[in-house]
Amino acid sequence: MSGHEEPGYVDRFVGACLRVLGGVLALYVAVYLVQSILWPLILIVGGGALGWLIVVVIRTLRERW
């Protein structure tokens, strides 16, 4: 015998519950972190997009004339 026995149904159930709990906690922390940086992130990305749009418009207008 190898001394290793298969885990029972209760052990599997408890293991699955602990994995689900760990996943829920990880998701909670991820959502909390995203919420804490959401507005600065929107401002940075929006400002970058606006700057890029201005550069594209200026280049397009210069090439036309």
pLDDT per position as a tens digit, 14-41: 999 999 999 999 999 999 999 999 999 9
Q: How many residues are recorded in the chain?
A: 65
For residues 50 and 44, give the distance between their C-alpha atoms in angstroms, rounded to a whole number.
10
pTM for the whole structure: 0.56
Per-residue DSSP letter, 49 = H
Number of neighbouring beta carbons within 10 Å of residue 31 = 10
pLDDT at 65: 63
Amino acid (1-letter code) at residue 5: E
Residue 48 CA to its chain's centroid (Å) = 20
For residues 56 and 58, give the distance between their C-alpha atoms in angstroms, rounded to a whole number.
6
